[in-house]
């Protein structure tokens, strides 16, 4: 499937008003005929940009216009928009690109692969970090936050120390009362 480019300035181009005035037709009909010409020239299998098999009667029926009106528009376009079936400015505005999407898709897929690899590396690094931390915890005993909150040793029968701001909870709360 071929594409045709339509530029932002196309509908407001002053040449449509000149062609409309010359042909005695409405400006919307002139633009509609040009749109049909663009699609016809784009679909030309022999040479893109050249109208081939353009039938004024079919275009007139499609836009609800008399065939004489389409012919008048085509005559007014000659030399300004089209010259002997070749749309003027076609090569500039609708170049046939030789590059396929292959290179673009290849680059996109490579970027995606690299992103997945980076994510795997990041995850692997995090897991290794967690293993190291867990390993450290096993190797050395973590000091308690505050010595006065330590549980009594099983070897001694010393009561638990409390702080003024510390409120015993759980079974220690029952024992403290």
Number of H helices, E strands in the chain: 7, 2
Q: Report residue 24: phi and psi, to 5°.
A: 75, 20
- Residues 40 and 106: their CA atoms lie apart, in Å, by 33
- Residues 41 and 88: their CA atoms lie apart, in Å, by 11
Tokens of 122: 């990041």
pLDDT, greater one: 130 or 4: 4
Domain boundaries, given as residue ranges, for the chain: 14-93, 99-136
Q: Which of 19, 42, 41 is nearest to 29 (CA)?
A: 19
pTM over 0.85: no
**pLDDT value of residue 16:** 93
Q: What is the mean pLDDT of residues 88-110?
A: 77
Please write the tens of the pLDDT for every residue from 9-47: 888 889 999 999 999 999 999 999 999 988 888 887 778
Q: Report residue 52: phi and psi, to 5°.
A: -140, 130
Please write the tens of the pLDDT for every residue from 111-122: 888 887 777 776
Instruction: Answer yes or no: are the C-beta atoms of 51 and 37 closer than 8 Å.
Output: yes
């Amino acid at each position: 499937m071929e594409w045709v480019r339509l530029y932002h300035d196309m509908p407001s181009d002053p040449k449509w008003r000149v062609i409309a005035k010359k042909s005695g037709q409405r400006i919307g009909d002139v633009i509609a005929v040009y749109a049909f010409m663009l699609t016809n020239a784009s679909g030309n299998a022999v040479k893109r940009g050249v109208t081939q098999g353009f039938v004024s009667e079919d275009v007139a029926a499609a836009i609800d216009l008399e065939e004489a009106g389409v012919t008048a528009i085509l005559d007014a376009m000659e030399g300004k928009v089209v010259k002997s079936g070749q749309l003027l400015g076609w090569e500039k505005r609708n170049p046939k690109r030789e590059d396929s999407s292959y290179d673009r898709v290849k680059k996109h897929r490579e970027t995606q692969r690299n992103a997945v690899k980076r994510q795997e590396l990041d995850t692997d690094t995090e897991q290794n970090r967690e293993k190291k931390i867990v390993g450290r915890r096993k190797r050395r005993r973590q000091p308690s936050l505050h010595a006065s909150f330590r549980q009594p040793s099983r070897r001694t029968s010393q009561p638990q120390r409390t702080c003024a701001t510390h409120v015993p909870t759980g079974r220690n709360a029952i024992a403290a009362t």
